A and B are shown apart, each in its own frame.
Chain A
Amino acid sequence: MILSSTNTLENKNIINYHGLVSGESLIGSNVYKDLFSGVRDVVGGRTSRYEEEIQKAREIALNSMKIKAEELGANAIIGLKISYNNLGGTMGNTILVTAYGTAIYYE
């Protein structure tokens, strides 16, 4: 499965467009983790747990997108966009990770 954020694939012939595929995942208000994240935001310092969580959430979103593309009979996703949206939450740490792209079949 080729993932690409470009509009076309060089030297590949796109046979069929299957339509939109998307994946979402949420980093939510894990109380144990964010109890003192507010303090840490004020004091400063790296919140490495968040980085890990975001990485994980991104993987989940991309994977669910890939599965859907496979179900549609595609072998590549082009025009891929990944976005991170802050949805508020207790300390503004509910983050929605979305990935969507166009499922295609190429030769």
Chain B
Amino acid sequence: MKLPDLNDPYTQKAALSIAIGTIAGLITYEVFLILGIDIFGWNLGLIFAPLVAGYVETIIAKELLNESTGAISALILFIVTVVWGFIIANSTLGFNLITAGSIVVILQAAMPILVNFILLGLILSVFYILGIFKKAADISFYKLRNLYYNFTGKSPTLRLKESIEYDDSITNIHINNLGVLFTSTTHLPGKIEEYMGIYEGKIIFRKDKNIISGDFKEQEQKLLIDLKKAKDQSLLNLSEAVKKDGCNGVVNLTIEYDLVGFGGDSFQVVASGTGVRLAMD
């Protein structure tokens, strides 16, 4: 883009007509403001000032240059009146979605291509934040994969075989045979001999990001089993901690699951409770 030469009489005349147009528009807006011509508090000067500015500018430009300067003063007036009338003067409206939107519309009229690119970028980033692209990609990948297996007649390879072999009830029995009585209640009538304080068993494990099996059910199952294993491990850790101090029971046991780590990529399972010494039968 070439900068206009200020010594050029053409540029001077164009600048003059733009300036006169702008001044005419400003005067019109001022008149509208003083007379208070408005509908529901919305000043009509916002419409008429840029119109007058553009009209005056075009007339003067025709007189001086025999051609139009593209009503630049109307654009200036639009921006000035929106910024002044909506945002600065009208404090109740302030800077909100609508005023920002009207400024964007004006800018779009002035520089269509640039603003359109910016708007496109904004829309795309909103889509990105909502995660629609990823989901669409995931679905298409999943669909394609299923199509492939249907077409070839092969069955998908299961990579999670070993971890799926997890028996709930066996581990449950194992947990309850560690020599520590875990209870979630606050008291064991007639059994507690001594309170030994608060104990906790904790484990942090990282989310497995290497499963690209595409099957969401599989991933879920794997995560659930990982969580169950983590819970068992935290209970084991708790039992070791209490046994070290000679406890054989835990009352008021709570188990908490939390999302920790950078970007929430790890899970924390904490089992905590009050260690007690129970009377032996």
Contacts and interface: CB of A to CB of B under 8 A. Distances in A.
B224 A19 contact: no
Interface in B238-276: 253-259, 264, 267
Interface stretch (B29-37, B66-74, B145-153, B182-190): B182-190
Give the size category of B's interface with A: 35 or more
A47 interface: no
Interface in B83-126: none
B181 interface: yes
B220 A29 contact: yes
Interface string B194-233: 0000000000000000000000110110011001100100
Given A24-B228, A71-B172, A79-B183, A88 B258 contact: no
Interface in A1-49: 7-8, 14, 17-22, 24-26, 28-32, 34-35, 38-39, 42
Given A31-B216, A38-B132, A68-B168, A19 B257 contact: no
Nearest to A13: B189
B169 interface: yes
B1 interface: no
B271 to A, nearest CB: 9
A90 interface: yes
Contacts of A79: 183-186
B214 to A, nearest CB: 10
Interface in B140-186: 142, 168-169, 172-173, 175-176, 181-186
A101 B138 contact: no
Contact of B135 (A34, A68, A86): A34
Contacts of A90: 131, 134-135
A35 to B, nearest CB: 5
Contacts of B132: 35, 38-39
Contacts of B169: 67-68, 71
Nearest to B219: A28
Contacts, number: 114
Among B172, B173, B253, find the residue whose CB has the most chain A CB atoms closer than 10 A: B172
Interface residues of A, number: 44
Contact of B185 (A8, A28, A87, A88): A8
Contact of B259 (A19, A67, A88): A88
A86 B220 contact: no
A20 B184 CA distance: 7
B220 A26 contact: yes
B272 to A, nearest CB: 13
Contact of A19 (B130, B183, B191): B183
The 3 closest A-B pairs by CB, nearest first: A19-B176, A28-B220, A79-B185
Interface of A: 7-8, 14, 17-22, 24-26, 28-32, 34-35, 38-39, 42, 64, 67-68, 71-72, 78-81, 83, 85-88, 90-91, 94, 96, 98, 100-102
23 contacts: A7-B187, A19-B176, A19-B181, A24-B224, A24-B228, A24-B231, A25-B224, A26-B224, A28-B219, A29-B216, A31-B216, A38-B131, A42-B130, A68-B172, A72-B176, A78-B184, A80-B184, A81-B184, A83-B257, A87-B259, A94-B223, A102-B182, A102-B185
